[in-house]
Amino acid sequence: MKRSVYVETSIVSYLGGWLHPKDLVVAANQRLTRDWWNRHRRLFDLFASAIVVDEAMKGDAARASERLVAIAEMTMLDVTPAARNLASDLLSQTRIPRKAEIDALHIAIAAIHGMDYLLTWNCTHIAKRNHPSPGLRGLPRIGLRATADLHAARTVRGVA
């Protein structure tokens, strides 16, 4: 059985558009994301949510269209009341700031739906090492991974 991966918006954002010509870190992250997408995505069951779709639709229409093509391959997860409640708990009980409500909701959706991994480039609020991944209310921990982590692992065994 394949591992489940909730794909957060930063991943699909790096799939569309051009490699960033002036920021080498962004360009490298885009390249890693595209390499992972092309070589490894089929090793996992991919999931997203309406939150990912809403964020992906923002900005340049042509780029948004490219992002939506990637999302179309994924199974959509419901944004449940339980996910909203967990997001609220994350904001009040962890170091995730109130201004990052959408980021807390991404974590909560992935946790409530039992995802093995949450794939993101958002290392400010989601994959930040100094706050815990959800274990609130008896929920299992979720593996938080930046694309580089899953790319380097080639195949992922076990949850962080």
Q: What is the pLDDT of residues 16-61, one digit of tens each?
A: 777 677 888 888 888 888 999 999 999 999 999 999 999 999 988 9
Query: Residue for token digits 């790096």?
Result: 14
Helices (H), the chain: 9-15, 24-40, 50-56, 61-71, 81-93, 101-112, 147-153
Contact 16, 61 (CB under 8 A): no
pLDDT in tens, 77-134: 999 999 999 999 888 888 888 989 999 999 999 989 989 888 888 776 676 544 444 4
The span from the CA of 46 to the CA of 99, in Å, is: 27
pTM (2 d.p.)? 0.80
Domains of the chain: 3-153 (3.40.50.1010)
